[in-house]
Amino acid sequence: MSNTLSTPLKMAPKVKPKAGRDDWVMRAFIIVIGLYLIVTLAFPLYAMLSKSVNTYAFDLSRFEIQINKGQGWSKPTTIAELNQQVKKHKPADLKTSSDGRLSVVDMIEGFSFRSPTLYRLRNTQDGGAFLNGSERVTDTQWHEFTSNKFRRVFLKPVGATGLDNFVQYFSNPSLFNSIFNSLFIAIVSMVITITLAFTFAYAMARSKMRFKGVFKIITMMPILVPSLLPGIALVYLFGNQGIFKFLMGDQTIYGPIGIIAGSVFFTFPHAMIIIQTSLSISDARLYEASDALGASKMKTFFTVTLPGARYGLISAAFVVFNLVITDFGLPKVIGGQFNVLAVDIYKQVIGQQNFEMGAVVSVVLLIPAMLAFTIDRIVQKKQTSQLSARSVPYEPKVNKRFDRIMFTYCAIVGAFILMVLLICQYAALIKFWPYDLSLSLTNYNFDVMDGGGWSSFTNSLKLAVMVSFIGTIVVFTGAYMVEKAPGFGFGRGVFQFLAMLPMAIPGMVLGLAYIFFFNNPDNPLNVIYGTLTIMVICTVTHFYTVTHLTSLTALKQMDKEFESVSASLKQPFYKLFARVTVPVCMPAILDISIYLFVNAMTTVSALIFIYSPDTTLASIAMLNMDDAGDIAPAAAMGMMIFYANATARLIHYLLSKRLYGTTQAWRTR
Amino acid sequence: MGDQSPFLKIRNLTKMFGTFTALKDISLDVDEGEFICFLGPSGCGKTTFLRAIAGLDIQTSGSIEQAGKDISPLPPAERDFGIVFQSYALFPNLTVFRNIAYGLENAGRSKAEIRKRVAELLDMVGLGDQADKYPAQLSGGQQQRIALARALATSPGLLLLDEPLSALDAKVRTFLRHEIKDLQDKLGITTVMVTHDQEEALTMADRIVVMDHGTIEQVGTPLEIYREPATLFVADFIGEMNQLAAIADAKNHVTIGNHSFVCNEHNKEVGTRGVMTIRPEDVVPQPKNSKNKGSNVITVTIKEMEFLGSFWRATLIDKSLGQQELVADFSINAVSRMSLDEGAVIKVDLPQQSLRFYEARR
């Protein structure tokens, strides 16, 4: 029989693969979750970007006026001509924001609302607008007013697109100086945190000191509190009535020193985790080789240890930089007169209602955040490729002197972290710092203070549970579809990009973007504005990237042929997903849920713009109480967040442990 | 083989990955109940070919018919096959029982039926007492057999094996070769196996498909592939083969240096440059007093001898071979009988039917 049939080569028709039912369902999932990201991320960001280039100015030539002082109507003149006659507004005065309104009667000499004079006003072009009381008039008809009515007529500005807002921003030193301030604190905090965290991680990975487990727990504590909590602690320690005020000399803690000190506190665990990972993957064989070649400890450190950890160090540096430059809570509490970008956004939007300028500052803040994020991603890719399956983990040997030095160092760092938490707890229990140091629970009487009372704490719990639950489902399902759906390259590419984007977007920027997008009355989604729903959505989106990456890492460890086997056995993908994928990935899923819970409890930045009186949160209550001078209650609330998170952590730990005992039994041989 | 239409009918299969052509216009027929091996070096396209048959990576063009039905565009779930991967892809969190039962559920079978079928399959692969263990608690060979049982659970018409034995150590591998082959014989299921291990292919397959660079080099029974390699690639890839630079002579003659050998017909033009091949075991040493004056008998010097357990491997040189080395395997018997040793000058016969000529690869 003939086996290979030689047929003349011709352009054969392409086979068009038929998509199975699973393929369609998976694509539908990708599209649904992709749409979720588009609506909750891409659209709001677009709204914010376009807001930053929206400029508004009164165009007086677009209005015509006629006056009748009892002798018939005057010839129509434009308001621009009127303004020239009275020399009321200079051109620069006519720039405004979208909410701007300009009184007409201010430009009429000798106007009196009691005079019998009649007025007529009209737009000369379609789309022009003036307000008659609260009614918006956009047609080009003449409208007649009495003097009394006419005083309530206001002109509306014309919108245009341009970089005027940016020009305005950069010509105002009090605004653009914040760029240097932000960069300054971010870089200084980065250097200090990396130095401290590297030494700590080195002690953990390379010494045989005791109590490593305790140190590990202590260093992770800062993650459990909002970034403004160290600010409050610093006030008690070094503030005007602080315990250690004398140490400050003629310096003040309210300013860069406070921001940097607090930033080091809250970024320390993030840097620690990354550096420790990079130290723990180094190959023992390199150390043996270095030893065998007779290299000194110093030389080994500089030729083996540091180069091995370099990606971890760079990555940690950018993560810290990013955390500090985008942080809002801490500089708000302890920044004093020292302006930084994140707080500027808040001041522009909440303080001055200048949304366009808020958007401009957001765009400015986006640039360093995006840059740091991009560099971090590139470096992380390199780090993973550096791992080899044959590496032998390094096992430190006992060295009494070295271990003692390292222990002392770690004990000091640990004591500082504990002190920050303890001082807050102490202050929360004191009647009236520093005059009446007797213990009392009055500071826990949140209901009589600004900030939303105890309900803000229960709101926070509600939010955290919902974010944790919904977020985990959305993120993990999305990651599964992207990782496992066959074909559909374009859709998956778009999805991947959207999933990575949130990490590069500072919370303040996201929150402001949500105002622009969801508070727009033309948006049908406007109904969720001011509800807990929008806060859940915002928080899930805000923390999407890290959880997405965690999911992907877990999914990539699964045998990629599971789907093929399941399909060959004619079983739908969701059976595999429920029966195998989810149970096997359960540890990662639990990690994601606790990460979301803790972050939902502590986050301030994005939600500060979208909370309503009914949906105040614990972290925001802290900020508001601190603003109102109720620092001790703020500290008390901060510690409540800490205890809630610590409890959640504990439950997570117990759950994971039980899980290993039951559903993960297969892991043990 | 039978004149009924083939079970698998593959025509002009081409698979592109971007601009890279992984499969070039491949056609192949597989009869029902046959055990076919795709054999080739890594990157030759054999796994791509298997995945196209499974619908996991559907071909760019060309068609596949299974049991008379065109399945070219169908997704895996709409085809009829069971598959075992190199990694086995056993579900780690499900017991052996649940793994095998996985494909039996949602198919209108009662719980009792499923239990019965799983027990049957477990007995078939000889692991009847392992039902409640998790895959990680089994040895590699046991896992492999569970994967096989799972693939066969739904009684598919076609069994696909993707390097099913390469993750195992040598002894288990040999054992499982027979197990799988016996099972396949017993069930009569059409089977396609991908392997890079020629011994595996030679011992298991009814027919071997040797592939290289996305094309089929030769299709044939193991003996055909070994004895009559169709191309220099096959000659080189399967088993040990001497390759001596040679020039084609008349239709069944080649010249090396100044010696003309009679070989199998080659149909190459006189003067074509190429190689003459012979397997080491086909070199026949001649007794000192041999009268054999055949044109393929040459006198050579034993340069080196290496003891390989069941035989000796000798490296032979002579100017009649243009100082090219010729490797020959001599039985222990022959060596002691003829007292062959390093440095000895002996006569060897290169039998005509063992000599082949191939044009040099460009």
Angstrom distance (rounded) from CA B144 to CA B190? 19
B84 phi and psi, to 5 degrees? -125, 125
| The two domains A21-41+452-668 and A178-339+398-437 share their CATH topology (first three levels equal) | yes
Angstrom distance (rounded) from CA B357 to CA B249? 10
- Which tokens belong to A321? 């930089």
Residue A559 with chain B: CB contacts under 8 Å: 85, 87, 89
Q: Which residue has the higher pLDDT, A603 or A293?
A: A603
Mean pLDDT to the nearest integer, A622-649: 93
In tens, the pLDDT along A51-63 reads 888 888 888 888 9
The predicted pLDDT at position A560 comes to: 85
Q: Is the pLDDT of residue B3 over 60?
A: no
In tens, the pLDDT along A189-212 reads 999 999 999 999 999 988 889 899
Angstrom distance (rounded) from CA A576 to CA A565? 10
Q: What is each CA distance from B141 to A70, A290, A427, A612, B66, in whole angstroms?
A: 109, 41, 65, 63, 31
Contact B134 A665 (CB under 8 A): yes
The predicted pLDDT at position A384 comes to: 59
> What average pLDDT does the structure give for chain A?
87
Mean pLDDT to the nearest integer, A519-527: 88
**Of all residues in chain B, what percent are helix, strand and coil, respectively (each to 5)?**
30, 30, 40
Percent of chain A with pLDDT over 90: 43
Contact B29 A1 (CB under 8 A): yes
Half-sphere exposure of A656 (CA within 13 A, CB side): 15
- Mean pLDDT is lowest, of A72-76, A463-467, A576-580, B23-27, for A72-76
A112 and A106 Cβ atoms separated by less than 8 Å = no
Cα B204 off chain centre by: 8
- B259 three-class SS: strand
Q: Report the 10 Å Cβ neighbour count for A14.
A: 12
Contact A667 B136 (CB under 8 A): yes
Angstrom distance (rounded) from CA A573 to CA B22? 28
Q: Which residue has the higher pLDDT, B306 or A277?
A: B306
Q: Is the pLDDT of residue B1 over 60?
A: no
Contact B92 A22 (CB under 8 A): no
Q: Which of A14, A26, A564, A669 would best serve as a mutation to test chain B binding (most B beta carbons within 10 A)?
A: A564
- B212 three-class SS: strand
A146 and A285 Cβ atoms separated by less than 8 Å = no
Class of domain A178-339+398-437: mainly alpha
In eight-state DSSP terms, residue B133 is S
Contact A9 B83 (CB under 8 A): no
- Which tokens belong to B231? 């191309």
Q: Which residues pair with B317 in a beta bridge?
A: B301
**Using 50, 70 and 90 to split pLDDT, how confident is the model at A5?**
very low
Q: Closest approach of chain A CAs to the CA of B126, in angstroms?
A: 21
Angstrom distance (rounded) from CA B143 to CA B163? 14
The predicted pLDDT at position A665 comes to: 62
Q: Where are the domains positioned within chain A?
A: 21-41+452-668, 56-160, 178-339+398-437
**Using 50, 70 and 90 to split pLDDT, how confident is the model at A383?**
low
In eight-state DSSP terms, residue A612 is -
Mean pLDDT to the nearest integer, A387-408: 78
In tens, the pLDDT along A225-260 reads 999 999 999 999 998 888 888 888 888 899 999 999
Strand pairing of A430-432 and A436-439? antiparallel
Contact A9 B25 (CB under 8 A): yes
Contact B220 A3 (CB under 8 A): yes
**A interface residues, B as partner, C-beta within 8 Å:** 1, 3-5, 7, 9, 12-23, 559, 561-562, 564-571, 575, 579-580, 583-584, 663-669
Contact B93 A3 (CB under 8 A): no
Angstrom distance (rounded) from CA A65 to CA A77? 6
Given its phi and psi angles, is residue A519 left (phi above 0), alpha (psi -120 to 50 degrees) or beta?
A: alpha
> What average pLDDT does the structure give for chain B?
91
Give the nearest partner residue to B14 out of A12, A21, A23, using CB atoms: A12
Q: Which residues of A476-508 are buried (b: 16+ CB within 10 A; e: fewer)?
A: bbbbbbbbbbbebeebbebbbebbbbbbbbbbb
Angstrom distance (rounded) from CA A537 to CA B325? 76
Angstrom distance (rounded) from CA A617 to CA A456? 4
Read off the amino acid at residue A592. Answer: I
Mean pLDDT to the nearest integer, A160-181: 88
In tens, the pLDDT along A483-494 reads 887 777 788 888
Cα A511 off chain centre by: 8
Strand pairing of B207-212 and B35-39? parallel
Angstrom distance (rounded) from CA A258 to CA A211? 30
SS3 labels along A43-66 = HHHHHHHHHHCEEEECCHHHEEEE
B28 phi and psi, to 5 degrees? -160, 140
Q: Report the 10 Å Cβ neighbour count for B59.
A: 28
- Which tokens belong to B228? 């009559």
Q: Which residues pair with A153 in a beta bridge?
A: A132
In tens, the pLDDT along A315-369 reads 899 999 999 999 999 999 999 899 999 999 999 998 888 888 899 999 999 998 8
Angstrom distance (rounded) from CA A613 to CA A2? 82
**Using 50, 70 and 90 to split pLDDT, how confident is the model at B149?**
very high
Nearest CA in chain B to A586: B93
Angstrom distance (rounded) from CA A464 to CA A645? 10
**Using 50, 70 and 90 to split pLDDT, how confident is the model at A4?**
very low
Count of A-B CB contacts under 8 Å: 128
In tens, the pLDDT along B220-249 reads 999 999 999 999 999 999 999 999 999 998
A75 and A537 Cβ atoms separated by less than 8 Å = no
Element (H, E) at A431: strand A430-432
Angstrom distance (rounded) from CA B280 to CA B308? 13
Q: Which residue has the higher pLDDT, A11 or A176?
A: A176
Q: Is the pLDDT of residue A6 over 80?
A: no
E strands in chain B: 8-17, 20-30, 35-39, 61-66, 69-70, 82-84, 158-162, 190-195, 207-212, 215-220, 242-248, 253-256, 259-262, 273-278, 284-286, 297-307, 311-317, 326-331, 345-349, 356-359
Give the nearest partner residue to A559 out of B87, B103, B137, using CB atoms: B87
- Which tokens belong to A406? 């390292």
Angstrom distance (rounded) from CA A321 to CA A194? 10
Angle at A545 between CA A541 and CA A548, to 5 degrees: 105
Q: Which residues of A569-606 are buried (b: 16+ CB within 10 A; e: fewer)?
A: bbbbbeebbebbbbbbbbebbbbbbbbbbbbbbbbbbb
Class of domain A21-41+452-668: mainly alpha
| Beta-sheet strand order (sheet of A153-155) | A102-103, A153-155, A130-132, A135-137
